[in-house]
């Protein structure tokens, strides 16, 4: 029993260590490329777009099947009493009759104003439009990931700046306390140092909260579980020099060729044109081939059930012509509505072209501006850093007031944040220009 107890205890301890090790496993670090690949496979918005595409494929298949003949079977069992007509022989009789009828019938449309043909073409266009819409949703997810990933990186670096300022201000509080005790500064200088430390602590908390907000957005784009940890990879290569070999017109033309929005608008016009052709087909007659086979049994006939089915077996084959004369202006209204929808689709295409131009033009201008801002903000940051270092030394020697030191620290902090913002905006706009040219997004 003692040996069994010792072995059980060892197993329990080993299991506990294993559980602890599993719970302290370092979370996976996600690169932007990994985030994009994972989101394209798992994001529910993209999955919904895929389902819409699959539904359009079903509609396309159904429209092609409209060319095929239909086939229906029928069976009935009837009882009648008194003066009635025999449903099999059509004789007028006064009797109780049990009758059975079985048959099949079929019809196929031979001509319907080319409506079936145009419906097939329209369904194919709508399927193509759904394919483009799926691409649009994928592009939207990629761009959302890019923007929020860079925002998260910006917030992560901003945390480091805030923590560094907090550490510096806490040291300054200790120095101020020592100088206060020595009688070299007034009480308000000490309290101002404390206030700055408290402000910097608040900034650390705010920066961490902002970072977590972007992590939440990224997790939702990736469709990760709320309890699942997410760590993002820092950028090793920050060289995002803008390639100005292509001018804005060339960039715009490349974007028109790459982005699926314009192709979806073009297909939408074609689909509405087919809707007009379908509506005009309503003015033309419909010609169908119809046929049927059947037989029956009646209780007042002396022949057996089998004999009657053989005797009463019949076949029919014929043509059916349906000529529209007046349908309360339904066809006219459908034609007018389709014509209006074509004009609206053409306007929507123009709007799409303007939106693409605005995106490319704005991104190009922002990219040029951001690249210049990086250079200017980096110079400002370096100068503010040197000024803050000198202020710290003066403060240690008693040659600078706490107020002036706080001002110098805040100036340096603002310069750091301006540089950080310019850096990530430069990366963002550079990647957007790459994307609009059809190139992969890579950090």
Show which of 300, 323, 346 is a domain's final residue: 323
Contact 115, 30 (CB under 8 A): no
Co-location of 294 and 418 in the same domain: no
Residue 442 domain flag: no
Co-location of 61 and 210 in the same domain: yes
Is residue 24 over pLDDT 70? no
Co-location of 133 and 218 in the same domain: yes
The token pair at 427 is 């990366």
Is residue 257 over pLDDT 90? yes
Phi and psi angles of residue 70, each rounded to the nearest 5 degrees, phi first: -95, 170
Residue 16 domain flag: no
Give the number of domains in the chain.
2
Distance CA 340, CA 324 (A): 24
Distance CA 165, CA 392 (A): 12
Co-location of 319 and 331 in the same domain: no
Phi and psi angles of residue 284, each rounded to the nearest 5 degrees, phi first: -95, 155
Contact 285, 321 (CB under 8 A): yes
Co-location of 268 and 373 in the same domain: yes
Phi and psi angles of residue 76, each rounded to the nearest 5 degrees, phi first: -145, 150
Distance CA 171, CA 190 (A): 12
Residue 405 domain flag: yes
Co-location of 50 and 82 in the same domain: no
Range of the domain at 315: 70-110+288-323
Which residues on neighbouring strands pair with residue 12, listed in sequence order? none
Scored b (16 or more CB within 10 A) or e, 403-420 reads eebbebbbbbbebbbbbb
3-class secondary-structure state, position 239: coil
**Residues 6+ away with beta carbon under 8 Å from 63:** 116, 119, 120, 122, 123
Co-location of 356 and 245 in the same domain: yes
Distance CA 373, CA 158 (A): 18
> What's the CATH code of the domain at 342?
1.20.1600.10
Residue 14 domain flag: no
Distance CA 415, CA 421 (A): 10
Residue 428 domain flag: yes
Tell me the pLDDT tens digit for each residue of 115-145. Answer: 999 999 999 999 999 999 999 999 999 999 9
Co-location of 131 and 271 in the same domain: yes
Q: Over the chain, what is the mean pLDDT? A: 89
Question: Would you state the pLDDT for residue 183?
Answer: 84
Tell me the pLDDT tens digit for each residue of 38-87. Answer: 999 999 999 999 999 999 999 999 999 999 999 999 999 988 887 777 76
Contact 172, 396 (CB under 8 A): no
Question: If you compute the radius of gyration of the chain from its CA atoms, what whole number of angstroms results?
Answer: 39
Q: For residue 197, count other CB atoms closer than 10 A to its CB.
A: 21
DSSP labels, 151-164: HHHHHHHHHHHHHH
The residue ranking higher by pLDDT, 179 or 62, is 62
Question: Would you state the pLDDT for residue 91?
Answer: 76
- Comparing 74-88, 148-162, 198-212, 334-348, the range with the smallest average pLDDT is 74-88
Question: Would you state the pLDDT for residue 243?
Answer: 55
Co-location of 256 and 315 in the same domain: no
The average pLDDT across 34-41 equals 96
Co-location of 88 and 123 in the same domain: no
Question: Would you state the pLDDT for residue 245?
Answer: 58
Distance CA 175, CA 257 (A): 64
Co-location of 397 and 317 in the same domain: no
3-class secondary-structure state, position 225: coil
Distance CA 418, CA 206 (A): 17
Distance CA 309, CA 285 (A): 38
Distance CA 321, CA 328 (A): 20
Co-location of 42 and 95 in the same domain: no
Contact 218, 183 (CB under 8 A): no
Residue 418 domain flag: yes
Q: Is the dihedral of CA 301, 307, 309, 315 positive or negative?
A: negative
Tell me the pLDDT tens digit for each residue of 371-392. Answer: 999 999 999 999 999 999 999 9
CA-to-CA separations, 124 to 55, 175, 223, in angstroms, rounded: 12, 77, 32
3-class secondary-structure state, position 288: strand
Residue 369 domain flag: yes
Residue 269 domain flag: yes
């Amino acid at each position: 029993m003692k040996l069994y107890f010792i072995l059980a205890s060892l197993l329990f301890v080993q299991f506990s260590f294993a559980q602890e090790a599993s719970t302290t496993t370092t979370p996976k670090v996600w690169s932007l490329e990994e985030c994009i690949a994972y989101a394209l496979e798992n994001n529910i918005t993209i999955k919904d777009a895929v389902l819409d595409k699959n539904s359009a494929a079903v509609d396309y298949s159904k429209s092609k099947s409209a060319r095929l003949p239909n086939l229906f079977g029928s069976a009935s069992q009837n009882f009648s009493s008194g003066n009635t007509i025999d449903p099999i022989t059509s004789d007028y009789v006064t009797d109780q009759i049990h009758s059975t009828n079985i048959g099949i019938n079929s019809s196929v449309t031979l001509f319907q104003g080319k409506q079936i043909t145009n419906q097939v073409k329209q369904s194919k266009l709508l399927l193509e439009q759904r394919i483009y819409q799926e691409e649009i949703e994928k592009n939207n997810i990629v761009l959302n990931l890019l923007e929020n990933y860079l925002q998260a990186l910006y917030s992560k670096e901003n945390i480091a700046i805030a923590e560094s300022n907090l550490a510096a201000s806490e040291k300054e509080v200790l120095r101020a306390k020592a100088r206060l005790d020595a009688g070299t500064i007034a009480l308000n200088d000490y309290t101002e140092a404390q206030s700055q430390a408290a402000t910097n602590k608040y900034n650390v908390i705010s920066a961490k909260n902002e970072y977590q907000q972007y992590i939440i957005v990224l997790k939702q784009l990736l469709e990760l579980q709320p309890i699942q940890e997410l760590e993002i990879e820092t950028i090793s290569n920050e060289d995002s020099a803008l390639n100005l070999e292509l001018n804005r017109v060339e960039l715009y033309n490349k974007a028109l060729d790459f982005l699926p929005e314009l192709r979806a608008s073009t297909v939408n016009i074609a689909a509405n044109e087919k809707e007009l052709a379908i509506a005009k087909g309503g003015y033309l007659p419909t010609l169908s081939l119809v046929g049927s086979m059947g037989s029956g049994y009646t209780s007042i006939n002396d022949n057996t059930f089998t004999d009657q089915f053989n005797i009463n077996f019949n076949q029919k084959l014929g043509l059916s012509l349906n000529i529209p004369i007046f349908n309360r202006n339904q066809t006219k209204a459908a034609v007018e509505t389709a014509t209006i929808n074509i004009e609206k689709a053409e306007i929507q295409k123009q709007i799409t072209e303007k939106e693409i131009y605005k995106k490319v033009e704005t991104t190009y201008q922002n990219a040029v501006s951001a690249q210049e801002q990086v250079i200017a903000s980096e110079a400002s940051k370096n100068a503010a850093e040197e000024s803050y270092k000198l202020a710290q030394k003066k403060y240690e020697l008693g040659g600078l007031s706490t107020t002036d030191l706080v001002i110098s620290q805040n100036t340096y902090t603002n310069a750091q944040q301006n540089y950080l913002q310019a850096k990530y905006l430069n990366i963002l706009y550079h990647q957007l220009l790459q994307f609009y040219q059809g190139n992969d997004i890579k950090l």
